[in-house]
Amino acid sequence: MAKTKFNITAHLRDRVISGLHRGRLRGGDRLPSFREVAEEVGVDFRLVSDAYKELEAEGLVEVRGRSGVYVAVQERIGGFLLSESAQWLAGVMAEAWKRQIAIPALPELLRRCTDASQLRCAFVESTEDHMLAFCAQLGPGFGLECVPVFLESELERSAPDRLAAVLEQLRKVDLVITTAFHAAYVHGITEALDSPLVVVTAIADIAKAIERRLRDGPLTVVCADPLFGERIRLVYGGEYKDRIHVVRADDRWEIARLDPTDPVLMTRAARRRLMDDVPLPLLIPHSPTLSFESARELSEVLIRINTAKLERE
């Protein structure tokens, strides 16, 4: 699909906003240039220029000619709310007014749609690396009680007793979440259940960072499960398959041999096993992992489940 000015603008907007709210960006920080972004996402730099101009009009960035692009200083309203957040909230309130929803009724509407009870989700995966990466966000980010359901090898998971065990776990939750690696298998199981299924994906920035790194040279993947490394080879390897070096977090000898100045792709699970005592630079920050599209789909499912529960009460 061809990239348009709109989605380049959205990509840059998300990057700046998430950076501001996670404390990774502050007013005055320099952002990637037009050409750097154009090379990263594979579009004409003029589209990036137009996108930055839109963000400047929104008050998110400052374009200072040849000096570059910088994060605009964000005023704090009431000492805690960034002006960008205030603008977003004002947009939500205006949309509510347009739908003839009284603004004082918004908090109760949000509570009714999201807080009927704490929902339980089963996250179905076969690697500790993917499991921890997503569950770390599903709990605090969406208020879910995340129940890990680990899949065994393809031969083991197809055995009748193992299939029955997985089914028993899935019957005890409100919804089922998995990744594209197991979507077909899990879909076949959940067809017999009432629980909705959400197949989640990672943010596009992760894929872009991996692809850019592989174009430039070798990539070291530090993970808990070697299967995670094989997935990276499968998805991103292609002609660069030989450039991907997989190191298990438990292999202290290999870890000690890594160049401490060379960024690595390290999973949350690997970091937990290493107890944060290996000062290796990261190619990609650990948060966020969940894509906006997946967050939107998951939010819609949670609203449906919560409102259905309220109707039954």
Please tell me the distance from the alpha carbon of residue 231 to that of residue 129, in angstroms, as a whole number: 11
Q: Which two tokens stand for residue 21?
A: 């709210």
pLDDT at position 313 is 64
Q: Do residues 217 and 178 share a domain?
A: no
d(CA 23, CA 147) in angstroms, rounded, equals: 30
Tell me the CATH number at 52: 1.10.10.10
What are the b/e assignments for 248-285, b being 16+ CB within 10 Å? bbeeeeebeeeeeeeebbbbbbbbebbeeebebeebbe
Dist CA 238 CA 252 (whole Å)? 29
- Within 8 A by CB and 6+ apart from 132, the residues are 267, 268, 269, 272
| Statement to judge: residues 235 and 264 lie in one domain | yes
d(CA 79, CA 77): 5
- Cα angle: 95, vertex 99, 101; to 5 degrees: 90
Average pLDDT per consecutive 10 residues, the chain (313 residues; last block may be shorter):
62 83 82 86 84 88 88 75 79 91 90 79 94 91 91 69 85 93 89 88 86 91 94 89 93 90 92 79 78 91 85 70
Would residue 279 count as lying in a domain?
no
pLDDT at position 266, please?
93
Q: Where would I find the H helices in 42-127?
A: 45-57, 83-98, 106-114
Are residues 177 and 208 both part of a single domain?
no
Q: Does a structural domain hold residue 282?
A: no
Nearest to 166 by CA among 189, 191, 187: 189
- Which of 113, 135, 161 is a domain's end point? 113
**Sequence-separated (6 or more) residues with CB below 8 Å from residue 228:** 127, 129, 130, 221, 267
Residues 122 and 197 occupy one common structural domain:
yes
CB distance 163 to 312 below 8 Å? no
Nearest CA to 223 among 286, 136, 178? 286
> For the chain, how many residues are written?
313
- From CA 277, how far away is CA 120, in angstroms rounded? 33
191, 126: one domain? yes
**Does 189 share its domain with 219?**
no
Inside any domain, residue 81:
yes
Report residue 160 as tokens.
């009748």
Domain count, the chain: 4
Check whether residue 298 and residue 151 sit in a common domain.
yes
- C-alpha separations of 87 from 31, 58, 106, 166, 278 in Å: 22, 9, 16, 45, 41
pTM as predicted: 0.78
Query: Given this model, what pLDDT does residue 274 score?
Result: 87
Residue given tokens 């070096």 in the structure block: 245
Whole-number Å distance between alpha carbons of 145 and 126: 19
β-strand partners of 198: 177
* 284 domain-assigned: no
Q: Residue 149 has which token pair?
A: 């359901």
Residues 18 and 135 in one domain: no
The pLDDT value recorded for residue 102 is: 93
* Domain residue limits at 168: 118-201+290-312
Work out the angle between the directed axes of helices 5-21 and 83-98 (0-180°, nearest 10): 120
Number of neighbouring beta carbons within 10 Å of residue 294: 20
C-alpha pair distances (Å), 197 with each of 154, 174, 200, 279, 305: 20, 10, 10, 38, 12
Pair (296, 194) in one structural domain: yes
Could you give the CA distance from residue 46 to residue 38 in angstroms, rounded to a whole number?
8
Residue 268 within any structural domain of the chain: yes
